[in-house]
Amino acid sequence: MKRVVISGAVAALLSACSLAPTYVPPKLDQDVAGYKEAGDWAPAAPADDKPRTDWWQAFGDPKLDELQEQLRVSNPDLRASFARFAQAHALVGEARSREFPTVNANASATRGRESLYAPNTLGAGHTGNDFIADLSVAWEIDLFGRLRNMTAEAKAQAQASAADLGALNLSLQAELATDYFTLRGDDATVRLLEDSVTQFDTAWEQTKRRYDTGVSAATDVDQADTLRQNARAQLAATRLDRARMEHAIAVLVGMPPSAFNLPPAPLSGEPPQIRVSLASSLLERRPDVASAERHVAAANANIGVARAAWFPVFSLQAAAAGFESTSAANWIGAPARFWAVGPGGTLPLLDVGGRSALNKQARAQYDENVASYRKTALTAYQEVEDSLVAVRRLAEEQTADAAAAKSAQSAAYHADERYAAGVADYIEVTTTHTAALSAESAALAAQAARLNAAVALVQALGGGWTNDRMDRPTL
């Protein structure tokens, strides 16, 4: 018995061996030193690298803050993703438990008759009882790291699931903010079109009176009516877009659209200044990149599991101790005691290429995950570059649109004056008012697009997520 215990202890000490390759996080083929589109963008100060989970508060909109909290509490996709993480975390515990002995308690009481022709009965089968109570121990000695690599793989998968949760959380937060600013843009456009419809109705009535008095032509009335009806059509289309945005926001915050109402409100002003951290830190602040890297780590551990299949599996399978008797009266006692212990080993000798194929599969899976990681990292840099240039160019576009709207309004005013003085026809009035409405709508659209571009930049930079959240994800 002592020799068996010593042998088990020695095997346990030797279990530090692992056949998984030494893990090194993958790198891009070329280091990224900075952002091409950053230009004179404000660099991040030391305090800017601190985690900010509530990044949307920088936009200064209390209603958006309220909706983001509702999303965190009630969004069904987040609830499902958190449940998937809980499953993955539980699998880590299940995998780790395989590294330790399992102990089972067994008890049975049977009565039976032996066959007269059974072996070793000498033709004298008999009827009797058999009472057994024992403890059994089973333990696979992880000499080559198979079980520990399975645990490492499960842990990496759980961390990837936590990063997936973070990526989904950030994506939904950004989607909510984008839908919200788009809806506020629709609110502003609705107000513009309602005012325009009122003005165009007044202009139509005035033109009709001028026609009735013989001052204006019938075509002027028709053109005035066309202008106001076109504005009504745009108003209906914008109200439709606004309703769809409101319904989308309702689903994001976990409410049925019929029970959700978002009153109209003005469109926020300028987007907040967003400081951009170093390019090298992006891969630590993007949950999707972290998830891809953890999948690489899991595949690396799986190589160790596959390699271990070439080596024998040692276990303590026949360890048991208990009591056995033919009578319940003397079932539990020293004379009824029994025990058995013995190690076991298994070494597959011939599997017609099965283990070789398993190792090739593990290596190919690792290569696939490395390629996927590099693609995810490159996409992350692309999204930051796209967002940086979008924020800058949309600011230029909004400035130009605002100037165009001002000029168009002035042109419409002068066209009205010229028409009233009888030196311009109504085609000039219609053309200038159409251009003014289009320019003002474009300016509002550019303002909403700038806010949405700022949201996209925050999302591209990872929001307030950091790698340490893989071990303690929160919603």
Q: Which of 41 and 77 is assigned the larger pLDDT?
A: 77
- Does 5 reside within a domain? no
Mean pLDDT across 301-314: 90
Within this chain, do residues 327 and 190 fall inside the same structural domain, yes or no?
A: no
Residue 196's pLDDT is: 93
The more confidently predicted of residues 344 and 186 is 186
Instruction: Summarize the confidence of residues 405-421 as an average pLDDT.
Output: 90
Do 340 and 398 lie in one domain? The reply is no
**pLDDT single digits (tens) 274-307:** 877 777 788 888 999 999 999 999 999 999 999 9
Confidence at 117, pLDDT banded by 50, 70, 90: low
Residue 141 scores a pLDDT above 80: yes
Q: Helices 426-460 & 146-212, crossing angle to 10 degrees? A: 170
Residues 359 and 260 placed together within one structural domain of the fold: yes
Q: State the average pLDDT over residues 303-313.
A: 90
Domain finish residue from 323, 346, 369: 346
At residue 368, the pLDDT reads: 96
- Considering the domain boundaries, does residue 3 fall inside one? no
Instruction: Name 236's Cβ contacts closer than 8 Å, sequence gap at least 6.
Output: none
CATH of the domain at 197: 1.20.1600.10
Whether residues 213 and 323 share a domain: the answer is no
- In sequence order, what DSSP letters do the residues of 225-258 get, joined into one string? HHHHHHHHHHHHHHHHHHHHHHHHHHHHTT--GG
| Confidence check: pLDDT of 14 > 60 | no
136 and 205 in a single domain? The answer is: no
Pairwise CA distance, residues 273 & 282, whole Å: 18
Whether residue 11 has pLDDT greater than 50: no
Looking at every residue in the chain, the average pLDDT score rounds to: 86
**Can you give the pLDDT at residue 238?**
97
Residue 344 has what pLDDT? 79
Same domain, 238 and 280: yes
CATH number of the domain that residue 125 is part of: 2.20.200.10
Residue 172 lies in a domain: yes
* Residue 4 covered by a domain: no
Q: Which domain holds residue 118?
A: 102-141+313-346
- Residue 100: burial class (beta carbons within 10 Å; 0-12, 13-18, 19+): exposed
Both 330 and 205 in one domain: the answer is no
Tell me: do 33 and 82 sit in the same domain: yes
Is 318's pLDDT higher than 90? Answer: no
In Å, what is the CA distance from 317 to each residue of 19, 144, 146, 281, 340?
24, 18, 17, 50, 10
Residue 25 and residue 130 share a domain = no
Residue 4 has pLDDT above 50, yes or no: no
Token pair of 228, please?
């106001």
Residue 13 falls inside a structural domain: no
- CA neighbor of 28 nearest in space, from 323, 363, 380: 380
Q: At what angle do helices 62-74 and 76-97 cross, to 10 degrees?
A: 40
Count of domains for the chain: 2
Residue 5's pLDDT is 45
Strands (E), 302-412: 313-325, 337-340, 343-346
Give the lowest-confidence range in 97-106, 172-181, 192-201, 225-234: 97-106
**What confidence score (pLDDT) does residue 44 get?**
46
pLDDT in tens, 348-386: 888 888 889 999 999 999 999 999 999 999 999 999 999
- Specify whether 219 is located in the same domain as 265: yes
Say whether both 332 and 241 belong to one domain: no
Max CA distance (Å), the chain = 133
Rounded to an integer, the average pLDDT of 159-182 is: 95
Confidence of residue 216 (pLDDT cuts 50, 70, 90): confident
Identify whether residues 437 and 332 lie together within a single domain. Answer: no
The answer for residues whose C-beta is within 8 angstroms of residue 347's C-beta and 6 or more apart is: 311, 312, 313
